[in-house]
Structure 1
């Protein structure tokens, strides 16, 4: 088999690149393809596909491999080539920033629902929720983002800016006598709009209660009086029934989303809500109760 072009100069290449190329060659052959590396090692052309040759970009893969232990490389290479083949029919080349930029968005997921946080690009909204980077609705992998000439945080900021341009639908509803505001998005990125909550409703200095019944929806109640205690109960029960993105109630204040731990407890046939607010929110409740 021929792994490298004869006119390449292996002695000038880092040993890590040579080893990674060896793995790429082995995986390509195991998948039934012949192949050729670009002179600069930036791509690999797979030949033997019914739909024609496929050029697989390697810049992001090499960067991601440099951040991982060598024992992870076989899996990383296998996933990279398999992913490239699976998405070969896509019209958008995610590795091309100019194509990807206008399609960048965010998608909010529960942390527990993401199989491996090291295989996605994103950042935490809090301990329970993560904001993932997508292009054309598909979650971006680290080796794809590694192709771009900008840092991950900058890419996420571009995605967030695109999300802001998409306005949410606002409506008032009532949950068991408690008025709340429902914000609905056309994409699964409603929680991203918390950054601009004041664009949709009057937010008091003490912030607002938030539940996320699904990635497209926010339910909100202002923290503006002791009636907020009843609102916590109504929102928590509603979130539990929807079995969506999160069953919890959060406090949006100072640009942070903080969990208000509230457990629904059933004892001797009676159901009640046991709330254990974080200290800062407990102080707000004490002040509002006066």
Structure 2
């Protein structure tokens, strides 16, 4: 799985700190606040009616990864979010506070407006696993304040997901084909793929997977040539559900791989055109032999 962000602290010149501080002061003034920096540069205090502490470690890291053209928007968002959250009891920049609230959520890449403004990792070309606190996504400048890299934060979130609940298992009839439905109360069902063998028997060649909604998985074992029919039935079911994804995936050796299956209309008839990835195509050839 590919992480969105590098966890290495970028090398930065002191003049960049000065320029960023000048921009922070300018934006704070435009918002009607005075601005006093801590001596170590790790935070600033907005004044003007009340004091608001704004942590800067994560912002500085994020600014170091971006071009200067991005800084005005980055700084404006950071200060605006700090002001908006001033009355909240939760400080997302404080890992000790948010650790019990960290979770993950799988989203379609197309559903995420800007992948540079969230923390997560790619599951494949069209799905991403994002870090959340409560009901919202964690921003890079928030996670940048934590003393651990983003990969470790995601692992903490996954541990919380696992402790939250065990998914309920039921059989699902797909036009004569029996699949397994795993469903829960939260939106983190896809995380349970990592522990799939604790729910159902997983053959050596893995499982077919569809994600009809964030709280549900539907799986089918890759254990015979009948898997070809299963791809069709699962793709149609995913299309009707119109949920998280309408595609079929292959869960194998800890990876979720897209099995491209498109429904096309030709001469008034609907048919399925499947384009399996090479590794899965080799599995199909072996099963058919």
Does the alignment reach a TM-score above 0.5? yes
Answer whether contact 1:105 1:137 (CA < 8 A) is retained: no
Partner of 2:127: 129
Partner of 2:224: 225
Q: CA deviation at 1:219?
A: 0.6
Q: Aligned runs of 1:116-265 on 2, under 5 Å? A: 116-166=114-164, 167-265=166-264
Q: 1:33-80: per-residue Cα shift (whole Å, max 9, x none)? A: 22322222221222235xx32111111111111111112111110111
Query: Residues of 1 paired with 2:185 and 2:51: CA distance?
Result: 37
Q: 1:217-238: per-residue Cα shift (whole Å, max 9, x none)? A: 1110111122211111111011
Partner of 2:53: 55
Cα root mean square deviation, aligned: 1.5
Secondary structure of the structure 1 residue equivalent to 2:130:
strand
Asked if 1:114 is matched to 2:117, the reply is: no
User: Structure 1: any 5+ residue segments left out of the alignment?
Assistant: 1-12
User: Which of 85, 89, 99 does residue 83 from structure 2 map onto?
Assistant: 85
Q: CA deviation at 1:289?
A: 2.2
Answer whether contact 1:107 1:134 (CA < 8 A) is retained: yes
Query: Residues of 1 paired with 2:89 and 2:193: CA distance?
Result: 32
Deviates more, 1:39-48 or 1:241-250: 39-48
Query: Residues of 2 paired with 1:102 and 1:114: CA distance?
Result: 25
Query: Residues of 1 paired with 2:236 and 2:58: CA distance?
Result: 45
Q: CA deviation at 1:210?
A: 0.2
Query: Residues of 1 paired with 2:180 and 2:58: CA distance?
Result: 42
Secondary structure of the structure 1 residue equivalent to 2:86:
coil
Q: CA deviation at 1:215?
A: 1.5
Query: Residues of 2 paired with 1:15 and 1:283: CA distance?
Result: 55
Deviates more, 1:268-277 or 1:140-149: 268-277
Asked if 1:64 is matched to 2:62, the reply is: yes
Partner of 2:275: 276
Query: Residues of 1 paired with 2:245 and 2:234: CA distance?
Result: 11
Secondary structure of the structure 1 residue equivalent to 2:19:
helix
Query: Residues of 2 paired with 1:255 and 1:261: CA distance?
Result: 19
Secondary structure of the structure 2 residue equivalent to 1:186:
coil
Q: CA deviation at 1:104?
A: 1.0
Partner of 2:7: none
Answer whether contact 1:190 1:217 (CA < 8 A) is retained: yes
Q: 1:76-100: per-residue Cα shift (whole Å, max 9, x none)? A: 1011111112223332111111111
Asked if 1:75 is matched to 2:73, the reply is: yes
Query: Residues of 2 paired with 1:71 and 1:285: CA distance?
Result: 50
Query: Residues of 2 paired with 1:225 and 1:143: CA distance?
Result: 48
